[in-house]
Structure 1
Amino acid sequence: MSSDTSTEAASVAAPGAFVSFVRFVVCGGGVGVLSSGAVVLLAGVMPWGVANAVITVVSTVLCTELHALFTFGTGKRAGWRRHWQSGGSATAAYAVTSLAVLVLHLVQSSPGVLTEQIVYLGASGLAGVGRFLWLRLFVFAGDRGRAGLSEVSRPRRTRPMTSVTVARVSPAEVSRSRLVLAAGV
């Protein structure tokens, strides 16, 4: 497969919102469930908040790569910019899960592991919806915008447009033409 063909296949493969959300739940949810077990194990040897922070960092790096390659169909690895942007949303998710468990411990002095896991996973699920929106609308939005155009069909400007002579055209038609040209259509 040539590089042009692989680029075209990757750009056409960008899924819609529903498919992306299902993939996000499978990838992020799967890693989230594994992470919740890892937090329990690490919390046995260090404070819960530190264990949660360590697992959040590791799972965020893993999930960002999975989301770049699979969830949002970019066909390429995430790169530093996307990892930093994803890290910002993971920081918010960390705050939500930590706050939820803190409130649980304030309400119930010694909750069981099952109760703690239910609260943790519930908070993770709510934070995950926010992360999905952030990733889809901001972090991976650029790739989705190009998904419908292949390298071959993408319009290219070969030389600058200097002037156009137009006879009997209303000002509204001129404005609309400028908008169409500015949009690159």
Structure 2
Amino acid sequence: MLFDMDTDRSAAAPTRPPGVIASFVRFVVFGGGVGLASSATLVLLSGHVPFAAANALVTVGSTLIATELHSRFTFGQDRPGGSDHVKAALTVLVCYLFTTAAMLVLHTIRPHAGVLVEQSVYLSASGLAGIGRFAFMRLVIFARKGGPKADERVLAREAVVTAA
């Protein structure tokens, strides 16, 4: 019965969302994977269209794909709605503004900073922005609908299904 094709998946009890550590690892893996794929796509596209247009297309596409992946696999939710996509896109904008501000501050304080210092500041800011994005997505965008009581009902249903 484990692989019964007649099983109606929509009737199955919802599963418990992954814990914080598992979610964060998935967030890094899926986000990093989409980032690497985006980088390769940008290289391919920029040979055929202006860089700014290629970057815009890749940014929009990668944000949509990452939001889908994060909703389903990172946070254990259903497909994200339009408002979820908009909120996730806004987190990307905030991360961009944060990393840009970090670099502007660096160049104000140390106008002739070397590439190692620049990369250290950029990667640190990017890491902090990513942690903030993860927290916002987990606690706001993809928070379990219905709160703790809904989670308790899901666990109770799973216990009944498992016992049966």
**Structure 1 length as normaliser, TM-score?**
0.59
- Quote the offset at 1:13 in angstroms: 3.7
Following superposition, the deviation at residue 116 of structure 1 comes to 6.0
1:19 corresponds, among 18, 22, 25, to 22
Q: CA deviation at 1:59?
A: 2.4
Matched, 1:135 2:137: yes
Quick one: distance in 1 between partners of 2:123 and 2:129? 10
How far residue 126 of structure 1 moved from its aligned partner, in angstroms, is: 1.3
1:163 aligns to what?
none
Letter in 2 for 1:122: S
Instruction: Determine the structure 2 residue equivalent to 1:149.
Output: 153
SS of 1:150's partner is helix
Look up the match of 1:57: 60
Contact 1:4 1:151 in 2 (8 A): no
How far 1:142 moved relative to its partner? 2.9
More off after superposition, 98-107 vs 84-93:
98-107
Where does residue 79 of structure 1 map in the other structure?
A: 81
Alpha carbons of structure 1 residues 94 and 40: separation in structure 2 relative to 1, 3 Å: farther
Q: Give distance in 1, aligned partners of 2:139 and 2:40.
A: 30
1:4 aligns with 2:15: no
- Given that 1:39 and 1:51 are in contact with CA atoms closer than 8 Å, whether structure 2 keeps it comes out as yes
Gaps spanning 5+ residues in structure 1: where? 154-185
Normalized against structure 2, the TM-score is what? Answer: 0.65
**How far apart in 2 are the matches of 1:38 and 1:99?**
27
Larger radius of gyration, structure 1 or 2? 1
Q: What are the Cα deviations for residues 80-100 of structure 1, in whole angstroms up to 9, with x where unaligned?
A: 121011122111011122333
Change (3 A) 1:99 1:33: farther
Per the alignment, in what secondary structure is the counterpart of residue 141 of structure 1? coil
- The 5 A counterparts of 1:33-112 are 33-35=36-38, 46=51, 55-74=58-77, 76-103=78-105, 107-108=110-111
Structure 2: gaps spanning 5 or more residues: 1-6, 158-164
The AA in structure 1 aligned to 2:130 is G
Give the number of equivalent residue pairs.
145
What residue identity is the alignment partner of 2:63? T
Question: Does the Cα contact within 8 Å between 2:31 and 2:66 map onto a contact in 1?
Answer: yes
Q: Equivalent pairs: percent with the same residue?
A: 45
CA distance in 2, matches of 1:46, 1:133: 32
CA-atom RMSD in angstroms: 3.8
Q: Which deviates more, 122-131 or 141-150?
A: 141-150
